[in-house]
Chains A and B, each alone.
Chain A
């Protein structure tokens, strides 16, 4: 049995962008599992850790705000970079004034969530080759050898997470869907004194669960039928049948 942790996060704005409306952005009504995962990862993450979100509770009524912002429409050209690398010099500038795009967004405002998640240690044989520079051991070490390594045990990471989360430490500032919507967080240890989530039940439709990075060059999105019951979305396991993609 894994130990489950609960974080309370709150922020002024949030945008959990729907993929179908990511140009003129529209948020999902409720935080997506991948956004919740990113918050846990902001506190502690390494290749061996995999956060699994189990439950998302909505603490404040769902409210919206419509905002227009200036962004750019172009992306830097790979070819220009390659040419510049070849010749040793070149113009890699990016002129915002020429590439201006006004984009509208329908964001959430004044949000607070309680996120429940646990983590697992990943089978190192998969990720080790991808992150050789992060590994203290050589890539060629045998499997059994790796599992027996004393520094890769769950207890160590559990206590690391508890310590960091309770002190408010993080690797990067956790955010609500988009980096610009930073949020505060708090480790919830005793659920008995916490407020109830909002009294609302609604069908949220098919929601983005996360991207499947197993083919890292072509990550594939996976979706699940989300339903908020009395303010809580129960997130099915990644491997379960309802999760499709």
Chain B
């Protein structure tokens, strides 16, 4: 289904390279007139940040080469196209006394380039553009192009890829219809020898599938989804692609589509933990454009991008933007992670756009919790994941967690239990109940909630009588009392607060900590009142009375709290602190 969906996506996108073609950056295009003289050389590069990047063109697929001479059709580097020596190589060879050999090789390369064009069918030979190129090659020596000045100098020194355009044409010579037809014919001439498991048609089976590039952590030259690179992976004595019959065309289509989705500037990819994630719909859909903004970290120059996307997501049904079609439109999310020269599927989700939008909204509802004004209101997946990792480092995000989280969000199922555990563990280890962590804890607990349990709200819930929640609130108040007692204008607070010392014990084994803290607390209050913080002292006292009155009369402090209770403790603490400091309460 994964490959089939990619195959269908390829069929949906007419601007993806057709078979026998690929998309490549070509820095220089030589414009030739009909009689074969060079009119100009176009520099297609534009500034992208500090680097110049050439424009992408659809050109005939590159010939596979290593050390042999193999020319591409109607494009190539200056060595092939013009027979122009690469300056660097020339001096290199000259040093070794192999200048003659290089010159011979250069001749071979140039001849191979001409032969590749001449080997195409007769119809192509009569094409105006192709004829112009052949005339150009016939007439022109590299020296004739020196009149192009700066561009020429650069071509000589860098040996760049180049191709041709006929004067007056918009497309390249290798994109002229007759050339495309000729290449297509060459491809379809191959006989069938098996049933393709993507299309069900009898076609020629691909032996080695084209590589997939752009999966983070995989080899830069590309890795494979479908490959059988060790003997134990094969069955019934079959070799390579024969183990999973996929037609050459289908293999080209799915790899081209996947490479397109994974490309560097693709808007349809996002990194989640160690999984490179791509997504697409089977019909054009606005979710395709928004998805990355919903879950990705917003770019620095546009920090509100995800907030806008989320707002749009919520408001779409209100304005009736989401068309009825979206009930039918399917949306695919594919997570890939590298594994030893191969690519493994981390997760795969198929759903209708309408259902998905609902699930994503649910996620943002669940994750929402009050936050200080300086924090970003919507948390990207990366911020959530990194909050559960040691030292807040991406490298320490447990593998698989990102995928599990994404799956939970998209399918609307409970969040992975390791997410809650990791968040609570980080809170205890660092004694920091941060905004993303409490958001995670709240979301996890709410989704896994049994019907009789009370839902955790976005902000402080004074009616919540859950013991763990109340103890979390109480713990903050006690900490605040200590601070009010000890801090002065010159000395802000104490070196070690009760949170630093007791958070872990208070959240896991309350009975060992709270009685002692409650014994200390009257002293803190009276000291705070004496040192000119009467207002705060009164407010804190009220809070303590309020909270303790809600605690059960018998056995108010449990001897042990499970992970989920520790989570509620953290949320109670976070809520109380946020409420205490929010502007309409503080003095």
Q: A residues near B, CB below 8 A?
A: 18-24, 26, 28-29, 63-64, 66, 68, 71-75, 101-104, 106, 202, 204-206, 208, 211, 218-219, 221-223, 225, 244-245
Contacts and interface: CB of A to CB of B under 8 A. Distances in A.
Contact of B400 (A64, A66, A225, A245): A66
Contacts of B231: 73-75
Contacts of A202: 350
Nearest to B349: A64
A68 B337 CA distance: 12
Contacts of B1: 28-29, 204-205
A22 B243 contact: yes
Given A20-B244, A21-B2, A204-B1, 9 more contacts: A20-B225, A21-B225, A21-B226, A28-B1, A63-B413, A64-B347, A64-B348, A66-B347, A101-B232
B407 A223 contact: no
Interface in B223-249: 225-233, 235-237, 243-246
Interface of A is mostly: strand
Contacts of A219: 236
B225 A206 contact: no
11 contacts: A19-B197, A20-B225, A22-B244, A64-B347, A64-B407, A103-B339, A103-B344, A104-B339, A104-B346, A222-B195, A225-B200
Contacts of B345: 21, 24, 26, 104, 106
Interface of B: 1-4, 195, 197-200, 202, 225-233, 235-237, 243-246, 337, 339-340, 342-348, 350, 400, 403-404, 407, 411, 413
Contact of B348 (A72, A102, A106, A245): A106
A75 B230 CA distance: 9
Given A23-B228, A205-B1, A106 B347 contact: yes
A72 B22 CA distance: 36
Nearest to B251: A20
A68 B388 CA distance: 21
Contacts of A26: 2, 345, 348
B19 to A, nearest CB: 19
A124 B215 CA distance: 53
Contact of A245 (B195, B232, B344): B195
Given A22-B233, A73-B230, A206 B339 contact: no
**Chain A CB within 10 A, most for which of B199, B225, B245, B344:** B344
Contacts of B226: 20-21, 23
B232 A71 contact: yes
A21 B344 CA distance: 9
A22 B235 CA distance: 10
Contact of B340 (A75, A101, A206, A223): A101
Nearest to A202: B350
Among B230, B343, B400, B404, max chain A CB count under 10 A is at B230
B232 A74 contact: yes
Contact of B339 (A18, A102, A211): A102
A219 B199 CA distance: 21
Closest 7 CB pairs of A and B: A104-B344, A24-B344, A73-B230, A20-B244, A19-B244, A205-B4, A23-B233
A24 B342 contact: yes
A208 B244 CA distance: 10
Contacts of B350: 202
Contacts of A205: 1, 4, 198
Nearest to A99: B232
A161 B270 CA distance: 53
A104 B275 CA distance: 13
Contact of B403 (A28, A66, A72, A245): A66
